[in-house]
């Protein structure tokens, strides 16, 4: 249930109402916008006499919410959420360009790529240290050493870093990581999500390999229900019958759908969505035109020798003009 408070209501009266609602056993999600305060009520709202609530002079309107996702629902929080890390922000008009290799491989590699993507206009550096590979015989990432190298690249460039967690037991290693990624294979690992909900860290939550939009939002809800509201959603392509010419199928329509349903920022990863370097630019442009709050692109110093995802990785030289064009598209659709 959502209760919209009349403009210019005193804080004291709002607090009084909140206390009354909490005494009824409800969780109250408070969203303070530029023009109005919205109270999102989570729990057994059958305790509440809707007509009575509606009749209060400080209440402008009350609406029942049938969606199963509450805290991430735009009806609970009409304004865009903004996720801030160091000097960068995502959402609410702040556009993120997250770039870097699939995997951190060596100190020279990650530092070189970090400096190059920064020069090209990246706002965040990505790089996997713990890699969820389909085959146990493939490179699994450098683990803790990879995180250290990523942190060194952060020190050199000042870019906030994004990297994937696979096991909550490694959480302590992520202390200086700015945004923790939950990969497509873990989107519905609810125990992991609940634990990440207890951290104060921004989470980049990818859509599952065959996940619906509702399932993605319910996964975000798991993190939020545990207390962490700093989530960035990531569309990274879904499994369809096509797998010959593209690795996954990029669901561009997920961008406007998510932007309507939730206040959380939405970024798109055209690298995993297509699996092909030659398709990354056009899908990045399409995503920006569809209203994405950011793009995540795999960039490698030498894609042909990459230990992971070389065929979909761009060189820094290929990456730089794409950033420029994305900004032009953003201007054009303003
Ligand atoms: C990645 O970002 O490197 C990755 C493994 O992505 P996904 O979880 O989307 O496959
Ligand atoms: Mn990858």
Sign of dihedral through CA atoms 210, 214, 217, 218? negative
The number of the ligand 1 atom at minimal distance from the alpha carbon of 237 is 9
The pLDDT, as a whole number, for residue 34 is 84
Largest CA distance in the chain: 67
The pLDDT, as a whole number, for residue 232 is 98
Distance, CA 42 to ligand 1 centroid (Å)? 32
Buried b (16+ CB within 10 A) or exposed e, 152-177: ebbeebebbbbbbbbebeebebbeeb
| Domain 83-333, CATH | 3.20.20.70
Distance, CA 87 to ligand 2 centroid (Å)? 25
Give the number of other CB atoms < 10 A from CB of residue 317.
Answer: 10
Helix (H) or strand (E) holding 83: strand 83-85
Distance, CA 32 to ligand 2 centroid (Å)? 38
CA of 185, nearest ligand number = 1
For ligand 1, atom 1, name the residue with the nearest CA: 102
The number of the ligand 1 atom at minimal distance from the alpha carbon of 186 is 8
72 Ramachandran zone, left/alpha/beta (phi>0; psi -120 to 50): alpha
For ligand 1, atom 4, name the residue with the nearest CA: 183
CA of 313, nearest ligand number = 2
Where along the chain do its domains lie?
2-63, 83-333
For ligand 1, atom 10, name the residue with the nearest CA: 184
For ligand 1, atom 6, name the residue with the nearest CA: 183
Per-residue pLDDT of the chain (334 residues; tens, 9 = 90+): 999 999 989 999 999 999 999 999 999 999 998 888 999 999 988 888 999 999 999 999 999 888 999 999 999 999 999 999 998 999 999 999 999 999 999 999 999 999 999 999 999 999 999 999 999 999 999 999 999 999 999 999 999 999 999 999 999 999 999 999 999 999 999 999 999 999 999 999 999 999 999 999 999 999 999 999 999 999 999 999 999 999 999 999 999 999 999 999 999 999 999 999 999 999 999 999 999 999 999 999 999 999 999 999 999 999 999 999 999 999 999 8
Each residue's pLDDT tens digit, 203-238: 999 999 999 999 999 999 999 999 999 999 999 999
Distance, CA 237 to ligand 1 centroid (Å)? 10
The pLDDT, as a whole number, for residue 33 is 87
Instruction: Spell out which residues have Cβ within 5 A of ligand 2, the ion.
Output: 102, 309
| Domain 2-63, CATH | 3.30.70.1140
Residues lining ligand 1, Cβ inside 6 A: 102, 128, 132, 183-185, 206, 236, 272
Distance, CA 39 to ligand 2 centroid (Å)? 40
DSSP secondary structure of 161-209: EEEE---GGGGGGGTT-SEEEE-GGGTT-HHHHHHHTTS-S-EEEEPPT
């Amino acid at each position: 249930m959502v209760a919209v408070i009349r403009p210019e209501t005193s804080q004291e009266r709002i607090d009084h109402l909140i206390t009354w609602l909490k005494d009824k056993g409800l969780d109250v999600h408070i969203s303070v916008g530029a023009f109005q305060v919205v109270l999102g009520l989570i729990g057994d709202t059958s305790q509440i006499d809707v007509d009575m609530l509606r009749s209060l002079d400080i209440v402008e309107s009350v609406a029942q919410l049938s969606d199963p996702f509450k805290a991430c629902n735009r009806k609970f929080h009409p304004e865009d959420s903004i996720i801030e890390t160091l000097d960068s922000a995502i959402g609410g008009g702040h556009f993120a360009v997250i770039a870097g290799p699939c995997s951190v491989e060596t100190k020279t590699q990650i530092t070189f790529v970090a400096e190059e993507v920064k020069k090209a206009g990246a706002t965040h550096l990505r790089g996997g240290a713990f890699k969820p590979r389909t085959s146990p015989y493939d490179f699994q990432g450098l683990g803790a050493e990879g995180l250290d190298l990523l942190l060194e690249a952060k020190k050199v460039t000042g870019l906030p870093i994004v990297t994937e967690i696979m096991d909550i037991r490694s959480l302590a290693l992520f202390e200086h990581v700015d945004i923790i990624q939950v990969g497509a294979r873990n989107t519905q690992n609810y125990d992991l999500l609940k634990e990440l909900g207890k951290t104060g860290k921004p989470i980049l939550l990818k859509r599952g390999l065959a996940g619906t939009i509702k399932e993605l939002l319910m996964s975000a809800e798991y993190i939020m229900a545990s207390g962490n509201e700093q989530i960035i959603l990531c569309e990274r392509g879904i499994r369809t019958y096509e797998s010959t010419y593209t690795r996954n199928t990029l669901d561009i329509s997920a961008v406007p759908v998510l932007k309507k349903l939730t206040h959380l920022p939405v970024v798109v990863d055209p690298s995993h969505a297509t699996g092909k370097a030659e398709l990354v630019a056009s899908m990045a442009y399409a995503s920006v035109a569809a209203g994405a709050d950011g793009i995540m692109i795999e960039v490698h110093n030498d894609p042909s020798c990459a230990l992971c995802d070389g065929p979909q990785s761009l060189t820094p030289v290929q990456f730089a003009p794409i950033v420029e064009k994305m900004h032009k598209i953003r201007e054009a659709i303003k």
